[in-house]
Structure 1
Amino acid sequence: MSTLFKRIDTVFLQVNDFDGTIKWYCDVLGFTLRWKDDKGGYAALNIGETALTLVRSKTEPPKNANISFNFYTADIESAQQLLLQNNVNVGSINEDGQVKWFKFQDIEGNELEVCYFKE
């Protein structure tokens, strides 16, 4: 472990519909709001030790072809089913050795990924 850095504090994701996207992440994914700055256009969502910070964008945010981060789950099949039940655009579960993963899109069309591996 680095003696200089303790952890990754947050991951930033640009969005257009600031309030709608906050609501979606809380209602659909079960995140909770850590703090929100309407004037600055930032909102941090709790998801464990590292927050997800949504940033209001004044222009169309780029849709990354490369996924910048994964959400980890202990039960990938249940995670996929819960997203499907909430009408989320979800891909198939893939497996490569010890790792399973699937992709999904948030309300803004950002492509995200969920992974599982034995800890």
Structure 2
Amino acid sequence: MEISGIDHVVVRVADLGRAIHFYCEVLGCKLEWRRDDLALAHLRVGKLFIDLLAGQPLPEGPGRNMDHLCLTVRDFDLAQVRDHLKQHGVEIGTAGERFGASGWGQSLYITDPDGNGLELRG
């Protein structure tokens, strides 16, 4: 057996509408399917999904259910990404050259409105 990639990641959120707005309007994901009967939204990110799951209490404490989700950004320009995030009131964490599935690349850390860690990388 060989793992070849990520199919989806499930992120627990407090407010589904607020989370959809953040991931789609701020980060550029595309809403593929919203299932209000399950308090679930499937967001398209290239060939992959991020599933947002609401309707259940969020775990308390640091880290919650996930350390961070790393999203690749096409034509990554650190200054442009920072400007875009600042325009949306997103607090920006540390930036630097980091190693990931596609090798070394520039990245920076942020959090979504529910405190879930995100890494955006080129």
TM-score over 0.5 for the alignment?
Answer: yes
Distance 2:72 2:28 in 1: 14
What's the TM-score, normalizing by structure 1?
Answer: 0.79
* 1:36 CA drift (Å): 0.9
What is the SS of the residue equivalent to 1:113? Answer: strand
Q: Which amino acid aligns with 2:94?
A: S
User: Where does the alignment leave 5 or more consecutive residues of structure 1 unmatched?
Assistant: none
Q: Which has the higher strand share?
A: 2
Match of 1:109 in 2: 115
Residues 76 and 114 of structure 1 are in contact (CA less than 8 Å); yes or no, is this contact kept in structure 2?
no
What's the TM-score, normalizing by structure 2?
Answer: 0.78
Equivalent pairs, count:
114
What do the CA deviations read for 1:35-82 (whole angstroms, capped 9, x no partner)?
011011110111111111001142124552763431112314122221
Match of 1:83 in 2: 85
RMSD value, Cα: 2.4
Match of 1:15 in 2: 13
Q: Which amino acid aligns with 1:85?
A: Q
Residues 69 and 117 of structure 2 are in contact (CA less than 8 Å); yes or no, is this contact kept in structure 1?
no
| Large movers: runs of 4+ above 4 Å | none
What do the CA deviations read for 1:77-110 (whole angstroms, capped 9, x no partner)?
1222211221101113212583322100111121
User: Where does the alignment leave 5 or more consecutive residues of structure 2 unmatched?
Assistant: none
Determine what percentage of the aligned residue pairs are the same residue.
26
